[in-house]
Amino acid sequence: MTVKRRLVILISGGGSNLQAFINACNNRMLNAEIALVISNKANAYGLERAAQANVPTLIIDHHAFTSREAFDAELLQQIDARQPDLVILAGFMRILTEGFVNHFKGRLINIHPSLLPKYPGLNTHRRALEAGDTEAGVTVHFVTEELDGGPAVIQAKVPIEKGDNEDSLAKRVLTQEHIIYPLAVQWYCEGRLVLENDQSILDGKHLPATGFAYNEINNC
């Protein structure tokens, strides 16, 4: 039987993507176990989701540290102690230092609610609506020193409909997040997905700059 990969998941809020990973592990759609969930906020609802699933949790309050580097050093130490195969950012609202990112390079993955390279940073849905875009979406990518600039793994597109606002668009994008994030992580767990020379490689082939284009027709 294939050995389960170990995951550490970092959160700051509600943890809906964390729940998608918990469900995928429980349903055996994802050959992995969540070794630890870390939050920088004690009131993050994602901690309750983890507790309900009997997943270990840890709170590391960034306010308790005098610098970003000191916080990241503690974070790094706690993650390394669990010996994870992959570190997953799931709504972790901290900009990570270069030293932290380099330490986990190739083992650190994030999801961003836009069709990168469009709209890195915050307020992605508002920016897409204000620009008059016809579609929005979500991108899973490896994390590098550049904010939301790491090599893309997979994207899912969502049409922007007449009358959409930030909330309605965000809900439809979030549905796609819960599908493609566990899928990308399963590729990694199976050894199909790697980061090589700052490029995403799937099944031995370089992915395009926007990653694999997901749709439900494709047999992944």
Is 112 part of the annotated catalytic residue set?
yes
Question: Using CA atoms, how far apart are residues 173 and 191, in angstroms rounded to an integer?
Answer: 27
Selecting among 112, 125, 141, 178, the annotated active-site residue is 112
Residues 6+ apart with CB under 8 A from 7: 21, 32, 33, 34, 35, 84, 85, 86, 87, 88, 185
C-alpha to C-alpha distance for 181 and 161, rounded to whole angstroms: 24
b/e 32-60 (16+ beta carbons within 10 angstroms → b)? bebbbbbbbbeebbbbebbeebebebbeb
| CA distance readout (Å), 107 to 8, 65, 73, 85, 173 | 10, 25, 17, 7, 25
Give the residue numbers annotated as catalytic, written as ranges: 112
